[in-house]
Amino acid sequence: MTALEDLRLLPADVVRCGNYVFVAPTVGADAAGRLVGEADDGGYTQARIAFRRIELGLQSVGAELADVVQTRMLLSPNGRRSLAARGEVLRDVKPSALGFRLESLAHAGADVEIAAVAVVDERRTLLEDESDFGRAAAYARAFRVGGHVLIGGTVAADSAGALLAPDPAGQAHALLGRFAVQLAELGASLADVVQTRIYLHSFDDLDAVAAVHAERLGDVRPATSVAEVFRFGGDETRVKLELEAIVGGAQRVDAGPDAWEATGCAGAVRAGEQILVAGRTAAGAGSAAAQCERILERIEADLAALGASLGDVVQQHVYVAGREHLGELREALRAALGERVATAFLLVRDVGRAGAAVQIDARAMIGRAAS
């Protein structure tokens, strides 16, 4: 196999706004777009190449791997060794993380897709994960940079992997209780939460998990997304949560029926110069492209209510119920937002609304449109 240093690689696509750098999902491909690696290496080589491309992308905008505060890794069934590559590359950084094994990835044939967020020149504090997995994957339980706290995708298990509760409501309670302790250790609280993402084993569990979310965070009203994913643990693991908090006051707009009202969420939250928009769907709007256009109209309205526009969007997550919708969604988003948005496509089992093919959440940075 060709040595990594001998490959011609293109930098990852990145968006920098102020001190923040958002890295679009990146695969282990050479400059010609060919995926690199052996079929039996479990995605290790692809992950190493993807991280090298991310490093090149960060360097192109004045950042480096040491500035990374969060990674998001999507793995195919063959991508089991990708996390070992992460552990080697980020051993001294230990960012927050989210990872899933999915049946297939948006980039056909890839074993791993890696996205990242970096923050330049800000003081950082982390809570290390002392579990075997945390040490191997260089994973922080929670990470604070400036006033921004990120807690990566977490299931309700102890350091030995034993579940803390057998049912979805109990698991959600355990997770939010754990998050409250971690936030306190980093000088924040649940009152500072601006975004949550809820990943379910089955939408049959939504009511139970949403009730707990509303009980603990209903007065806070973060921007929330919900999706049913293929695999993040055994059948007994019913929910995975991730969370962001920004210390200080926040403005909010109402969720509306196309967001996750039962969770007690807001439609969008502004904290400082960042705006987090909740996951939106548009069931009944027609094709996936038509649903996308309707969702973007609602996102645009939410942003306008908080002093921003679609031109300020820097990052979005697009949850897609079926590979057959990817092409038209890519075209619709490119037409509406151009190329300068870090967009992650997640092929999920369900977006939770009958007739809905897509759910989109977004992050905007005030002033991006003018930059």
User: Angle formed by the axes of helices 168-185 and 206-217, to 10°?
Assistant: 30
Q: Domains in the chain, ordered, with CATH? A: 7-123 (3.30.1330.40)
Give the whole-angstrom CA distance, residue 162 versus residue 183.
23
Nearest to 182 by CA among 144, 145, 209, 218: 144
Label residue 1 by pLDDT band (50, 70, 90): very low
Give the whole-angstrom CA distance, residue 149 versus residue 147.
7
pTM attached to this predicted model: 0.93
pLDDT tens digits, 316-328: 999 999 999 999 9
SS3 42: coil
Quickly list DSSP for 58-116.
Answer: HHHTT--GGGEEEEEEEE-TT-TTHHHHHHHHTTTT--EEEEEE-SS-SSTT-SEEEEE
pLDDT tens digits, 211-249: 999 999 999 999 999 999 876 666 789 999 999 999 988
pLDDT tens digits, 88-109: 999 999 999 988 888 889 999 9
Quickly list DSSP for 277-291.
Answer: EEEE--TTSSSHHHH
Which residue spans within 146-267 are E strands per DSSP? Answer: 148-155, 193-200, 223-228, 239-246, 251-253
